[in-house]
Amino acid sequence: MEKRDELYAGKAKSVFTTDDPERLVIVFRNDTSAFDGKKKEALDRKGAVNNQFNAAIMEMLHEAGIPTHFEKLLSANESLVKKLDMIPVECVVRNIAAGSIVRRLGVEEGKELNPPTFELFLKDDALGDPMINEYHVRSFGWAEPEHIEKMKELTFKVNDVLKKRFLNANMLLVDYKLEFGLFHGEVVLGDEFSPDGCRLWDKDTREKMDKDRFRQDLGNVIEAYEEVGRRLGMTFQQ
Are 15 and 6 in contact, with CB atoms under 8 Å apart? yes
Does 115 sit behind a cis peptide bond, omega within 30 degrees of 0 on the bond before it? yes
Are 189 and 67 in contact, with CB atoms under 8 Å apart? yes
Query: pLDDT (tens digit, 9 = 90+) per residue, 15-30?
Result: 999 999 999 999 999 9
- Neighbouring residues of 100: CB distance < 8 A, sequence distance ≥ 6: none
Q: How does DSSP assign 131-159, residue by residue? A: EE-HHHHHHTTSS-HHHHHHHHHHHHHHH
Average pLDDT over residues 91-101: 97
What's residue 90's pLDDT? Answer: 98
Q: Which domains does the chain have, with CATH numbers?
A: 3-82 (3.30.200.20), 85-220 (3.30.470.20)
Measured from the Cβ of residue 125, the count of other Cβ atoms closer than 10 Å reads 10
pTM: 0.95
Where are the extended beta strands (E) located within 10-75?
Answer: 13-18, 23-28, 31-34, 39-42, 70-75
What's residue 98's pLDDT? Answer: 97
What's residue 35's pLDDT? Answer: 84
The conformation of residue 163, written as its DSSP 8-state character, comes to H
